[in-house]
Structures are given as C-alpha cells and as structure tokens.
Amino acid sequence: MKSTGQILDIDLSTWKGRILPLSNEMTTAYLGGRGLNVGYLWDHLPAGIEALDPQNILTLACGFLTGTAAPASSRLHVNALSPLTGLLGSSNVGGDFGIGLKSCGIQQLIIRGRSPQPAYLWIESARFEIRNAKSLWGLDTWETQERLGQNLGNPQLKILSIGPGGENGTRFGCIMAGRHHAAGRTGMGTVMGSKNLKAIVIKAPKRTRVLDGKRQNHEALKRYTWQIKNSPHYDEISKYGGAGYVKWADELGILATRNYRENRFEAADRIDGRKLEKNITRRRGCRRCPVQCKADLDLHQGKRKGTQAVRPEFEPLLALGAKCGLSDLETLVYLDNLCSQLGIDSISAGTVIAFAMDLYERGILSPADTGGLNLSWGNGEVMENLIRQMAEGKGFGVILAQGVRRAAQIIGRGAERYAPHVKGLEMTGYHPDKIMGTALGYTVASRGADYNDIYATLENKWLPDQAAKEFGTPQAVDLNSIHGKAALVRRAMIVGAVLDSLGLCKVPALCLICAYDLVGEAEMTAALTGRAVSVSALFRAGERIVNLERLLNFRHGARRADDRLPDMFFDKEYNSGEEPSKPSMWMEPMIKEFYSVMGWNGHGIPTEDKLAELGISASQYATQ
C-alpha cells in the first residue's frame, strides 16, 4: 500500500533531526502504528541495549488510517524497550495527538539519544525544533500542558507529556495526551524521561489530511459506523465507558481482588462506574468516534468535594479498587487521576500496591520496612502516599516504583511467590483462574500479561456454534475449558495487531462489533485508499507483526520459560479456593497447542517455514 506520510527522525543528543521518506514496502508489510514501529526496531535496535540507555529508540507511529474519515481512527502507537520487562515495550493512545501528527505529514516519529538538558519537541507542519524545557521539568502532566498552552499562546496545541514519574525513573511511567488519554503500559514515559524529553508539541494545520477526501462518505465507512451503533452493548459503553463493567466481572467470578487472592469483591457494586453517572459534567471522546466513552466528573462528597476529575476506565477501577480492597469510589477516582497527573501507569501502580498490601498482611513486610505506613487493605490515604512516593522517588515507594518483579527481588523473604506479573509486566484485572483464553493470552502476549494486548472478548461474546465453525469446537467460548483456546487467542492476537497498526480503537471494533474477521476494516482501507485491500492481506500483515515481535523479544533475552503464569496461581489460595492445580493440567497443554497453531517450535520460536511464509528473513534472525 502507498505510504501516507514521512518519518521524522530526531537525535536528542545533538538537537538535530531529519525528514525521511517512508517506503511503500514498509506500509504494505506493516501498515502503520504498531507494525511500523516493530519493523523499524527490528532493523535498528541490536541486542545488548538497556531500556534506559540513550541507545534505546523510542518510536511513535500513527496508524495507517489515523486522521482519515474512518470512525474511531485516532490511535497512536508507542514502542521502545521496556524498563519493566527489558523486552518490547508497547502502548497505544487515543485523543487527537495522532491525528495532529498525521496532519503534519508525519507517519512515524523516531526519538534517539539523550538531550543534554530537559527539552521538548515542537512540530509545525513540516517544520520542527527542539526547545529548552528546563522550566517545565518537575511539573505534572496537567500543569505541563497548561503551561505550554499559555507560554505558546495556543490552548489548542496537541501535546504528549510526562510527569515526575517518567522524570524520576519510575519504571512504569506513562505518557499523557491531554487529561483523558494515556499511553500507559510498559513504561514508555520512563523511556521518554530517560531521554530528557518532557513533551512533544504539535501545532496542527486547521485542515487534517486524509487518504482520499473524495471517499470520506463511502458506504464502507457508513456500514462500519452502523455496526458500532447497532451493537447490543453500544448504549452501555457510550454511557458508562468500560467503567460500567465492574459488577459484571464480579458476577462472572473473574474480578481480581486483594492481589488475586479472590475472584469476587464484596464491594464490587460500590466501585462500579455506573455509580458515577450523577457526577458527570461532560461526555467526550476521540474525534470521529461514534462511541464517545470518556467523561468529566465533579466529585460531590467528603474531602474530595468540588474536585474536577476524569472518569476512570475499567482496568484502573480494578487495579486501584478491588485489587487493593478499596471500596470508596470517590477516593478511587481521585487516585486514578493522581496517577495520570504524576505520569505513572495506574494499572501497574495499583497492582504493585496490592502486592505490597498482601505482603504486609502476611508479615513479610512490617512498618519498619514501609517507613511506618500501615498497608492494610483499602487504606486510601496510604495508597495516595505510596503513589506520590513512587512518582517522586521517595521512601518505600522507591522499591515499589521498580515494579512487582524487581520489588519482590529487593524485598526477598519469599515475596517473589506473590508477585503478579508475566515477563515483568503487572497483570491486568481479570483473574486468570476462571477465564482460560485470557489466562493463555497473559502468558504469550508480546508485552506481558495485559488483556488489551490480546483482546479476547470473543471468548465471552461469541456463541458456541460460531466458535465451532471458526475454532473447531464450541468449547472455545466456554470460559472454563482449555479446548480451542489456542486458535481463539491466535485470532485475537493477530486481529489486535492489525487494529493497532491501522490506528483503530479496539473498543468499537472488538467489544461492540466483535466480528474478528477484518472484513469491515479491509473495506474501509480499500475505500479510503482507492486500492484493493483484501482481508487475507491484513491477516498476513498482522501475523507478520506478531511474529516479528516474538523474534524481537527473543533477541533481547526472552525465552520459552517466560511464557508462564506466576506460581501463585497454582496455589489453593489464589485459584478460587480449590485444590492446588499443576501447570501440566491446564496451562502447558494450551501453550503447546498455541505454539503449534502459530507455526512455532517447541521453544516458542517461529520456524523457518513460518518466517519464509511471512517474508521474514530466517538468516537475518539467525545472525542476531
């Protein structure tokens, strides 16, 4: 496919940059967004690089359809080596920054080196400058965006920024786009901070460029929008966002509670986002998205009364709520917003606090270890203290800011037994004991245990007849069955990679439409480019991307042994109170079958035949 923009390559060490062409071959092979970044890192990031070294490369790419008339096409993907995992870091963000970057004619932004002093990058059309950001260093993300808007005389600028978390080396620092949107997972804000880059600012042209303006009302786009709006879940998602599904997860028995000790939370109804309906002052969302799932809030009670906030999404409600035993919804909202302001991932932050609370109750941690903090379940005041410590590099928070894997190693005394992570990334909110496809997805996802990386909603929304047709058995959509899950997770993995590379949001595509066939996406891409784009071509690109991610991870130290759930989930206490199970009873058969359907060998490495099929040079891999 024809490329839709150029590459802006910035060397912060010299404060210089250059505009490079983007080849049609790269967009044909990798589309844009996530795929384009992975292709670039595969070609330019050798083994032996540490995540916080200047040699690490931060890549940001618009999806192939970002900035077009396609509905829900605002996404930007961010990649680099992760400070949490040491492997491929990967995060995705909505809002209007990606659209602004695309409107300047830039498809991909490459950030290398380290600035000798705090800096920000200014982009205006085809012009760019690296500017001094010393006066911004230390500000939180909201203050940074406000200050830049004031100083530059334009409150409509498109801004990505980091906060104290990214500056101070919290390994799960995030990047914020406005107040509502975060590139949250895997510590991409910390990579940005290690490069002394405080913000990226875009003054976008008034008119956003699209692939083909004459085709913006094409029937394929209308049909895709109709599918979104006619989903049986459209009204709920549009009204409550993901925040309205906490009680649903609890009733299904998959709600991670008290560091995964339990799969039900007695106060689930109290922290469900539906309870925030009375607090909404404005609904909003990404440009051209028919869902508009975001909301501004005004808190009404207690010491938070009068506080303006952003409604949390589903995962932060679980991470800071049920996982930590916190049942005060307004405190939970405040803590999620505090994470965004300080520039740290609320999922990792909540999970590492829950881990510390678990250790505290077990007596592995004492007040002497925590600086006198009482880490009892649900202690919102202490949670706020820890969040600030993690972002500022102070107190006991210095240890927790390393993430659960490193924190457990530092604490010792058996703490590693209770650290919920895969490949170093803190696990998301579904308890894996009662949802087998998600459990498998946690183990094999490229970036570590994260539901959004392998977004397997078809597991709980498809009917058995459809599962039998697509995956060979109706049990593929039985949450408690291990049968058919390998093929299901393969489909979810590949489709997710395509959506991240096209720049389409997964909520309307996979939660509402939930087709997982890429038919609508192929039709829209063809309509907007005026070229034939087949479903098979998109699937092939997605498969190429996830295989290259696998190779990239192996280049940087991943091994077969990293595809595993923590040992805690094979203990009675962490598997819904049932007798202890063994990996060989359920996890290992799924992993083995997954490797097979992916065309990987017994070590989880893509075979030469699979690489040849996808046009990836096996000899290139062999020399890494």
pLDDT, position 620: 56
554, 42 Cβ separation under 8 angstroms:
no
The reply to whether 278 falls in a domain is yes
Examine the pLDDT at 477 and tell me if it is beyond 50: yes
Is the separation of the CB atoms in 405 and 421 below 8 Å? yes
Convert 446-463 to b/e letters by CB count within 10 Å (16 or more is b). Answer: bbbbbbbbbbbbbbebbe
Q: Is residue 244 in a domain?
A: no
Beta strands in 145-253 (DSSP E): 158-161, 175-177, 181-183, 197-203
34 and 177 fall within a common domain: yes
325 & 288 share domain: yes
Using one digit for the tens of pLDDT, what is the confidence trace for 159-176?
999 999 999 999 999 999
Which CATH number covers residue 327?
A: 1.10.569.10
- Residues 493 and 601 both lie in one domain: yes
| Distance separating the N- and C-terminal Cα atoms of the chain | 29
**Sheet containing 6-11, strands listed edge to edge, beginning at the edge strand earlier in sequence:** 16-21, 6-11, 106-112, 58-62, 76-81, 88-93
Distance CA 521, CA 526 (A): 9
**Residue 41 scores a pLDDT above 90:** yes
Question: Domain of 137: which CATH number?
Answer: 3.60.9.10
What is the predicted pLDDT for the residue at 305?
Answer: 83
Structure tokens at 566: 């923590």
Same domain, yes or no, for 491 and 412?
no
Do 353 and 462 sit in the same domain of this protein?
no
Q: 44 and 107 share a domain?
A: yes
H or E element in which residue 25 lies: helix 24-30
Query: For residue 614, what are the CA distances in angstroms to 2, 45, 390, 396, 621?
Result: 20, 21, 43, 48, 13
1 pLDDT exceeds 80?
no
In this prediction, residue 157 carries a pLDDT of 95
Tell me what pLDDT residue 185 has.
Answer: 98
- Tens of pLDDT, residue by residue over 117-160, are 999 999 998 799 999 999 999 999 999 999 999 999 988 899 99
Instruction: Decide if 42 contacts 551 (C-beta within 8 A).
Output: yes
Supply the mean pLDDT for the chain.
Answer: 94
Span 101-115, average pLDDT: 97
pLDDT-derived band at 215 (thresholds 50, 70, 90) equals low
Residues 153 and 191 in one domain: yes
pLDDT in tens, 566-617: 999 998 777 666 666 888 889 999 999 999 999 999 999 999 999 999 999 8
Mean of the pLDDT values across residues 23-39?
96
Question: Residue 325's pLDDT is what?
Answer: 98
Question: Is residue 171 within 8 Å of 403, Cβ to Cβ?
Answer: yes
Instruction: Catalogue the E-assigned strands of 68-179.
Output: 76-81, 88-93, 106-112, 119-124, 127-132, 158-161, 175-177
Q: Using the 3D structure, point to which of 192, 213, 234 is the last residue of a domain.
A: 213
- Name the band, by pLDDT with cuts 50, 70 and 90, for residue 216: low
The contacts of residue 259 (CB under 8 Å, 6+ apart) are 323, 351, 354, 355, 357, 358, 418, 420
- Confidence at residue 214, expressed as pLDDT on a 0 to 100 scale: 55
User: At residue 448, what is the residue type?
Assistant: G
- State residue 622's pLDDT score: 45
Residue 426 lies inside a defined structural domain of this protein: no
Please indicate, yes or no, if residue 289 is contained in any of the structural domains.
yes
The string of pLDDT tens digits covering residues 283-323 is 999 988 999 999 999 988 777 888 899 999 999 999 999 99
Quote the pLDDT of residue 577.
64
Domain termination residue (choose one: 154, 188, 213): 213
pLDDT per residue as tens digits for the range 383-420:
999 999 999 999 999 999 999 999 999 999 999 999 99
pLDDT at 194 > cutoff 60: yes
Q: 328-384 pLDDT, tens per residue?
A: 999 999 999 999 999 999 999 999 999 999 999 999 999 999 999 999 999 999 999
Residue 160 lies in a domain: yes
Q: Name the least confident of 455-464, 539-548, 565-574.
A: 565-574
CATH number for position 517: 1.10.599.10
Whether 240 is covered by a domain: the verdict is no
Q: Are residues 412 and 443 in the same domain?
A: no
Regarding whether 440 and 346 lie in a shared domain, the answer is: no
Comparing 471 with 578, the larger pLDDT belongs to 471
Look up residue 407 and give its amino acid. Answer: A
Instruction: Give me the mean pLDDT over the 438-453 stretch.
Output: 96
Residue 273 has pLDDT above 50, yes or no: yes
Q: Which of 387, 419, 451 is the last residue of a domain?
A: 419
H or E element at residue 583: helix 583-598
> Could you tell me the residue range of the domain that residue 358 belongs to?
249-419
Mean per-residue pLDDT, 91-109: 96
At residue 98, the 3 state secondary structure works out as helix
Q: How confident is the model at residue 274 (pLDDT cuts 50, 70, 90)?
A: very high
Q: Which residue has the tokens 């404005």?
A: 282
| Nearest residue to 61 via CA among 506, 495, 446, 501 | 501
The yes-or-no verdict on residue 209 having pLDDT over 70 is no
Which band of pLDDT confidence, cut at 50, 70 and 90, is reported for residue 217?
A: low
Once rounded to an integer, what is the mean pLDDT over residues 470-496? 97
Task: DSSP for 200-213, please give it.
Answer: EEEE--SSPP-S-G
Instruction: Judge if 577 and 479 occupy the same domain.
Output: yes
Q: Tokens in use for 599?
A: 């065309």
Residue 126 has a pLDDT of 78
Does pLDDT of 624 surpass 50? Answer: no
CB atoms within 10 A of CB 331: 22
Is 107 in contact with 76 (CB distance < 8 Å)? no
Report yes or no on 235 lying in a domain. no
> Within this chain, do residues 174 and 290 fall inside the same structural domain, yes or no?
no
Domain count, the chain: 3
Please check whether residue 231 lies inside any domain of the structure. no
Whole-number pLDDT of residue 69: 94
Same domain assignment for residues 318 and 366? yes
